[in-house]
């Protein structure tokens, strides 16, 4: 039997977060501890005020940090430091398990000693639009996949594509490789995944482990998110250089256009082009952020606190 903890950075938790905890309680493989690293105590207190939260979720631990202390990498490393389990699962506070087999499906690949990380399939919610639904299907198909260093040549950046929206880690390997980078604006999961691949380990896409998770960003949100992605790519050439992301983006746009036409919704192609253009411009300027004035960097960024550290 696997021993596993779940670690979740939390910010302004809502009812969806309670649904997440409810689904974790139902898992066929029991979770030892759920470790929450909550940003800004007042928001968490507002959610649980007047409830029997601590009785209902007796395996939950909460550590509060300030907004200024939050960092995509350092905060997650802090959560890991509070766990003693040989395996841990990273989640975000808006990823809801679809069924009771999520933990089982994420841990099953670790029967292979060479697997250092597995990640779940992300499904769109019922409120997502057709563009978001197709994007999720494109990035998270229904077929499991094992990836290793030998795949770099033909898969490129997809070899170490992995998301800690919901991902499991072997603790021994995580510690040996130094965990997440401590100062990260974005992509802390893929930067770690590349370390795994380069060290000769495997990553497993556990398509049978499913969470509902999607974003409904407008053009401005897509620009900011992809600006931060570009910054992370610029700051970590040892991870991303020589591996094109633009070609994969173009392939996604083409396939989404075909999908929208088949769905009888070609009018959404205008929205697709707008969002895709915002993504590209955000990524373009993120890759070149060192040429921008400091105030522009913060203006363009989704993670504004990153620039104060």
Q: Which of 105, 128, 106 is nearest to 116 (CA)?
A: 106
Question: In the chain, what are the helix, strand and coil shares in percent, each to the nearest 5?
Answer: 50, 20, 30
Q: From its phi and psi, is residue 156 left (phi > 0), alpha (psi between -120 and 50) or beta? A: left
| pLDDT digits 0-9 by tens, 2-25 | 899 999 999 999 999 999 999 999
Query: 2 or 81: whose pLDDT is higher?
Result: 81
The CA angle 95-145-125, to the nearest 5 degrees, is 25
Measured torsion, CA atoms of residues 205, 206, 212, 218, in degrees rounded to the nearest 10: 0
Question: What is the model's pTM?
Answer: 0.95
The answer to whether residues 137 and 216 touch, using CB atoms and an 8 Å cutoff, is no
pLDDT value for 51:
92
Cα–Cα distance, 309 to 294 (Å, whole number): 13
| pLDDT digits 0-9 by tens, 137-181 | 999 999 999 999 999 988 989 999 999 999 999 999 999 999 999
Q: Which of 48, 126, 33 is nearest to 85 (CA)?
A: 33
Give me 183's structure tokens.
Answer: 């100062």
Cα–Cα distance, 64 to 17 (Å, whole number): 16
What is the average per-residue pLDDT within 181-207? 97
Cα–Cα distance, 262 to 291 (Å, whole number): 42
Distance spanning both ends of the chain, measured CA to CA: 42
- In this model, does residue 84 exceed pLDDT 80? yes
What is the average per-residue pLDDT within 274-303? 96
Local confidence band at 244 (pLDDT 50, 70, 90 cut-offs): low
Give me 139's structure tokens.
Answer: 């990035």
Based on DSSP, count helices (H) and strands (E) in the chain, helices before strands. Answer: 14, 9
The one-character DSSP state at 308 is G
């Amino acid at each position: 039997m696997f021993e596993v903890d779940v670690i979740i950075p939390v910010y302004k938790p809502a009812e969806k977060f309670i649904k997440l905890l409810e689904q974790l309680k139902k898992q066929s493989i029991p979770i030892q501890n759920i470790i929450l690293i909550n940003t800004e105590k007042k928001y968490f207190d507002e959610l649980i005020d007047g409830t029997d939260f601590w009785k209902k979720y007796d395996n939950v631990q909460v550590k509060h940090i300030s907004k200024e202390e939050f960092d995509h990498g350092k905060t997650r490393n802090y959560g890991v430091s509070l766990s003693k389990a040989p395996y841990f699962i990273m989640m975000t506070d808006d990823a809801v398990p679809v069924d009771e087999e999520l933990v089982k499906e994420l841990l099953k690949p670790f029967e292979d000693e060479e697997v250092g990380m597995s990640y779940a399939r992300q499904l769109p919610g019922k409120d997502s639009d057709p563009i978001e639904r197709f994007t999720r299907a494109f990035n998270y198909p229904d077929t499991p996949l094992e990836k290793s260093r030998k795949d770099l040549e033909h898969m490129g950046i997809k070899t170490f594509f992995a998301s800690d929206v919901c991902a499991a880690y072997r603790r021994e390997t995580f510690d040996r490789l130094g965990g997440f980078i401590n100062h990260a604006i974005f992509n802390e999961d893929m930067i770690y995944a590349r370390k795994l691949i380069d060290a000769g380990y495997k990553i497993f896409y556990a398509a049978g482990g499913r969470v509902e998770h999607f974003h409904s960003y407008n053009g401005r949100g897509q620009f900011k998110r992809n600006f931060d992605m570009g910054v992370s790519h610029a700051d970590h050439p040892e991870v991303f250089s020589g591996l094109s992301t633009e070609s994969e983006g173009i392939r996604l746009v083409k396939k989404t256009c075909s999908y929208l036409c088949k769905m009888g919704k070609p009018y959404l192609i205008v929205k697709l082009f707008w969002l895709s253009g915002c993504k590209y411009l955000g990524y373009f300027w993120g890759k070149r952020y060192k040429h921008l004035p400091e105030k522009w960097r913060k203006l363009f960024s989704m993670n504004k606190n990153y620039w104060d550290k």
